[in-house]
């Protein structure tokens, strides 16, 4: 029982210390999400983040099922390869499409995936 109380005390102190140290290093100049006329859903995203120009990041991919349901994102690493998390493909979607270069889920350079290859996880 004393061990549980000790763990609880150490956890409380660590939480308090981390909370105080974060406030000391937080960037006071970061804009508030409320100042940017955002919805509550947008406020919960990246604090102080900025909207990205889609034309500056053409290698960002959207993985779609049925051409409309975005399931994950990825990165174009070669003309014919998109790298994504194996978690995104754990259930091998049948109608998988990859979209590049557009704000909409089905961009101007959208095509069906020809091959899905999941590389086994490496142990470090």
pLDDT of residue 110: 59
Percent above pLDDT 90 for the chain: 0
Q: What is the pTM of this model?
A: 0.49
Which residues, given as ranges, of the chain have pLDDT below 50?
A: 13, 16-34
pLDDT of residue 33: 45
Smallest CA-to-CA distance from 62 within 8, 23, 113 is with 113
Query: In this structure, which topology does domain 54-112 adopt according to CATH?
Result: Thrombin, subunit H (2.40.10)
- E strand spans, 1-124: 60-65, 69-78, 81-83, 96-100, 109-112
Q: State the span(s) of the chain assigned CATH 2.40.10.10.
A: 54-112
pLDDT of residue 81: 85
């Amino acid at each position: 029982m004393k061990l549980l109380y000790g763990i609880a005390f150490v956890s409380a102190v660590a939480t308090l210390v981390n909370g105080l140290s974060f406030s000391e290093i937080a960037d006071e100049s970061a804009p508030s999400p409320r100042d940017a006329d955002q919805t509550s859903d947008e406020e919960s995203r990246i604090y102080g983040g900025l909207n990205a120009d889609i034309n500056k990041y053409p290698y960002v991919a959207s993985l779609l099922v049925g051409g409309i349901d975005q399931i994950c994102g990825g990165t174009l690493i070669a003309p014919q390869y998109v790298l994504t998390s194996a978690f995104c493909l754990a259930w091998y979607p049948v109608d998988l499409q990859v979209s590049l270069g557009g704000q909409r889920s089905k961009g101007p350079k959208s095509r069906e995936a020809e091959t899905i290859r999941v590389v086994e996880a490496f142990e470090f």
